[in-house]
């Protein structure tokens, strides 16, 4: 196999070149100033009125189930990357407070002190509050609504005016007016808005930044601010010293495609200039600012943008059955040795007694439960068609129903690669008895069924060399034969097969192992399918710097110890970098250890 090019990885939960949250550590840290302080900003999770497309403002609505999931996922990401919080600030609106408490619970940090302030409330939308945005645009005209909201709408000349434009105010006797809300009775009535522009919101937020938040950060407190889109805009505007007209938006901080890992570019020095009104702070995604001793930003980046902003992952484990080779099992079928007849397996599983596929399936199920616990998915999005067996007359029919039922609902199909499959795929080449001629004949025989496909990134000679090494074909066949019956049921446009080895394969940071496994899997499943390989780095719980406690969902589960040390995620076949990034982010949350997605494709 040709020599692997230099490795490049994107942090599993960050879209910036900074891949370690410990000051002064991690790849690229020697090129970047050491941060004196770290500040985390988080917009609350999706609210009921976000979902209903209503103007919310100061109306006190709660989170949706999706919003609660986003809050848990944000906490899992912070925990996985080693963040610890000393002090939290939030508004007095329940959607922000609820987000904070869910996040703290996920981080096992409900004990930390928190400060609530009305100055961190969302922008007050006046008489628009409670109205459907689309219906309001239809009634008053999209251009007028754009002016009220301060949006560009393609009209650059109104940007400055929009920043200071207020929606229609509430009447003093309107029951929605904050003077009727007990939370604000101690405030001077002249401080209570009946409507606000973004300029008003910034002017209301900044005094609290200077009086409470900034001093806490300067004293070395590790501060989290959970607030709202527009109040956070005010803090971002102040941190980045943005004028009223334009703000600097770093492309690698706000886009999903990460830059090279060793990029020297700092987020505050990019040339992509946008109006402050165009900035959208995504719900539930932690935004990290690394600051110098004067609280000037060195860089900023989101954690887990691809995963948190996406719907819950639709996932499954495919239970398959296949006969064991007679030569590998001794004895007749019995209650003490049922493996002599059949052995259930995961998508990619060994059928040896040493690496029981029953264990592999159980470990995959434990991983899916951990993904649900951290918020990457929900139990309703873990698809198990096992009840179909009651409808089938025999085992073959049951398997077909299981396969079709799971695949119909799932997008991500997790499969278990046992240790002996990794060993088989990475075994050294051994010449066949009889010399090179016999070896070449064995290679040709094994590779005859593997067609060369364009776009795989692997030529037919590499396929032959990787798949057909003499002496390991039997082991690979045992591990990969179940894939054949799955291949015809996979939708190349939708399904992503996620193969996770149980054992560590750290050779060349896992690249060579991933390449060899990819060749073997693609040869069976097909080059037109989306395949992601998650190769554990090893080290177990706490075995690698950055690994946190197992956290909710993983403590005490039966997953392989190697998964708790983080790892690398590779795309192959028709999978792309985003497929690998989403899986890396999900595994980071589930295992509380950093998984990195490769920027290059196998």
Backbone angles phi, psi at 86, to 5 degrees: -100, -30
Consult the annotation and say whether 381 binds a ligand.
no
Contact criterion met (CB below 8 Å) for 596 and 535: no
Q: Which helix (H) or strand (E) holds 283?
A: none
Phi, psi of 558 (to 5 degrees): -95, 20
Phi–psi pair at 75, nearest 5 degrees: -65, -40
Structure tokens at 113: 């002190």
Say if residue 472 carries a ligand binding annotation: no
DSSP codes joined into one string, 67-126: HHHHHHHHHHHHHHTT---SEEEE-SSHHHHHHHHHHHHHTT-TTS-EEE-GGGSPPP-G
Binding site annotation covers 95? yes
Known binder of ligand: residue 57?
yes
User: Containing H/E element for 518?
Assistant: helix 511-525
- Ligand-binding annotation for 459, yes or no, is no
44 is in an annotated binding site: yes
Residue in the block written with tokens 């177990």: 540
Helix axes 142-149, 133-140, angle to 10 degrees: 120
The verdict on whether residue 272 carries a ligand-binding annotation is no
The number of angstroms, rounded, from the C-alpha of 371 to the middle of its chain's C-alpha atoms is 10
* 124 carries a ligand binding annotation: yes
- DSSP alpha helix (H) spans, 189-308: 198-208, 214-218, 229-239, 251-254, 305-308
**245 in a known ligand binding site:** no
121 is in an annotated binding site: no
d(CA 86, CA 73): 19
Q: Is 141 annotated as a binding residue?
A: no
Which contiguous run of DSSP H or E holds residue 301? strand 297-302
Q: Is 46 annotated as a binding residue?
A: yes
Check residue 568 and report its DSSP letter: E
* Cβ(421)–Cβ(348) below 8 Å: yes
Q: In whole angstroms, what is the distance from residue 366 CA to residue 386 CA? A: 16
Active-site position among 37, 44, 101, 252:
44
Query: Could you give the CA distance from residue 126 to residue 217 in angstroms, rounded to a whole number?
Result: 33
Calculate the CA dihedral of residues 395, 400, 402, 408 and round it to 10 degrees. Answer: -170
Written as six digits, the tokens of 536 are 């554990």
Q: Is 3 annotated as belonging to a binding site?
A: no
173 annotated ligand-binding residue: no
Q: Find the angle CA(601)-CA(368)-CA(551) to the nearest 5 degrees.
A: 100
Please indicate if the annotation marks 50 as binding a ligand: yes
Catalytic, out of 37, 81, 101, 122: 122
- 561 appears as a binding residue in the annotation: no
157 is catalytic: no
Q: What is the rounded distance in angstroms from the CA atom of residue 116 to the CA atom of residue 118?
A: 7
Does 570 count as an annotated binding residue? Answer: no
The question of whether 186 is a catalytic residue gets the answer: no
Q: Is 49 annotated as a binding residue?
A: yes
- What residues form the annotated binding site? 43-50, 56-57, 95, 122-125, 133, 160-161, 229-230
- What residues form the annotated binding site for substrate? 43-50, 56-57, 95, 122-125, 133, 160-161, 229-230
Residues annotated catalytic, as ranges: 44, 122
């Amino acid at each position: 196999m040709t020599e692997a090019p230099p490795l490049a990885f994107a942090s599993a939960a960050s879209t910036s070149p900074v891949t370690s949250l410990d000051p002064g550590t991690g790849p690229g840290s020697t090129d970047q100033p050491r941060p004196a302080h770290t500040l985390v900003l988080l917009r609350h999770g999706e609210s009921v009125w976000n979902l209903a497309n209503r103007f919310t403002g100061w109306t006190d609505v709660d989170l949706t189930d999706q919003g609660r999931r986003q809050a848990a996922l944000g906490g899992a990401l912070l925990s996985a990357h080693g963040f610890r919080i000393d002090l939290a600030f939030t508004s007095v609106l329940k959607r922000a407070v609820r987000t904070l408490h869910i996040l703290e619970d996920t981080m096992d940090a409900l004990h930390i002190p928190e400060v609530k302030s009305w100055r961190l409330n969302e922008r007050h939308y006046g008489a628009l509050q409670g109205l459907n945005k689309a219906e309001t645009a239809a009634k008053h005209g999209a251009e007028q609504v754009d002016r009220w909201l301060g949006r560009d709408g393609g009209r650059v000349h109104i940007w400055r005016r929009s920043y200071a434009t207020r929606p229609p105010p509430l009447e003093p006797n309107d029951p929605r007016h904050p003077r009727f809300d007990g939370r604000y009775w101690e405030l001077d009535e002249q401080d209570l808005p009946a409507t606000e522009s973004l300029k008003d919101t910034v002017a209301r937020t900044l005094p609290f930044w200077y009086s409470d938040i900034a001093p806490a950060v300067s004293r070395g407190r590790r501060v989290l601010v959970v607030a709202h889109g527009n109040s956070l805009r005010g803090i971002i505007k102040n941190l980045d010293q943005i004028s009223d007209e334009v703000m600097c938006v770093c492309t690698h901080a706000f886009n999903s495609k990460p830059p090279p890992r060793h990029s020297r570019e700092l987020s505050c020095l990019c040339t992509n200039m946008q109006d402050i009104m165009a900035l959208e702070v995504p719900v539930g995604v932690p935004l990290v600012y690394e600051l110098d001793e004067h609280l000037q930003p060195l860089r900023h980046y989101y954690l887990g943008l691809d995963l948190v902003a996406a719907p819950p992952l639709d996932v499954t484990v495919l239970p398959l059955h296949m006969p064991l080779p007679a030569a590998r099992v001794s004895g007749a079928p019995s209650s003490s040795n049922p493996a002599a007849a059949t052995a259930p397996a995961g998508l990619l599983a060994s059928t040896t007694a040493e690496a029981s596929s029953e264990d592999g399936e159980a470990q995959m199920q434990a991983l899916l439960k951990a993904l649900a616990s951290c918020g990457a998915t929900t139990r309703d999005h873990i698809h198990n068609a096992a009840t179909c067996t009651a409808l089938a007359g025999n085992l073959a029919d049951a398997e077909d129903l299981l396969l079709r039922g799971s695949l119909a609902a799932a997008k991500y199909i997790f499969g278990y690669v046992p240790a002996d499959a990794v060993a088989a795929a990475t075994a050294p080449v051994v010449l066949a008895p009889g010399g090179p001629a016999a070896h070449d004949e064995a290679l040709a025989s094994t590779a005859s069924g593997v067609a060369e496909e364009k776009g795989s990134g692997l030529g037919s000679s590499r396929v032959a060399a990787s798949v057909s090494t003499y002496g390991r074909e039997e082991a690979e066949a045992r591990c990969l034969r179940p894939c054949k019956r799955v291949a015809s049921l996979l939708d190349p446009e939708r399904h992503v097969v996620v193969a996770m080895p149980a054992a560590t394969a750290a050779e060349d940071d896992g690249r060579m192992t991933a390449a060899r496994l990819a060749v073997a899997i693609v040869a069976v499943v097909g080059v037109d399918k989306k395949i992601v390989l998650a190769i554990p780095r090893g080290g177990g719980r706490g075995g690698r710097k950055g690994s946190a406690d197992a956290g909710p969902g993983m403590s005490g589960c039966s997953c392989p110890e190697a998964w708790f040390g983080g790892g690398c995620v590779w795309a192959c076949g028709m999978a792309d970098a985003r497929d690998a990034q989403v899986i890396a982010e999900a595994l980071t949350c589930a295992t509380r250890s950093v998984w990195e997605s490769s920027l290059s494709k196998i």
